[in-house]
Amino acid sequence: MDDGEKKTGGLREAMPATAEIVDDLRRALGAEIVDRALAAGVKAQKRYAAWLAGHGEDAAQRWLESQRFEGGSFWASEGGRTVGVKRS
């Protein structure tokens, strides 16, 4: 995404303040780094949900705490929507 390019719909509309922060981070750090962290956060969110459903909260938290997100990770919550998973 170019500095001036804005995607529409979905999370960008549901989480406008988060989208602005992400845009700023992309400009400052580069899209590749930020997008890698976002993707890791979304992947972790899905895997955490699977652990939670299959093994319960304690096991899901242990799984999350054991993860080493080498490329970084991302978590944000705004307007009732969440992206990524927050470590406790």
Whether residue 26 is contained in a domain is answered as yes
Please count the CA atoms within 13 angstroms of the CA of 12 that sit on its side-chain side: 8
Number of domains in the chain: 1
Whether residue 46 is contained in a domain is answered as yes
> Cα 6–34–53 angle (5° rounding)?
100
Return the closest-CA partner of residue 36 out of 70, 64, 76: 70
| Model pTM score | 0.78
Whole domain around residue 35: which residue ranges?
10-84
Per the structure block, which two tokens stand in for 85?
């998973």
Whether residue 54 is contained in a domain is answered as yes
Whether residue 5 is contained in a domain is answered as no
Whether residue 4 is contained in a domain is answered as no
Whether residue 3 is contained in a domain is answered as no
pLDDT of residue 71: 76
Q: What is the pLDDT of residues 26-76, one digit of tens each?
A: 999 999 999 999 999 999 999 999 999 999 999 999 999 999 887 788 999
Place of tokens 């890791």: 40
The one-letter amino acid code at 45 reads Q
For residue 36, CA distances in Å to 61, 79, 80 come to: 22, 24, 24
pLDDT of residue 9: 58
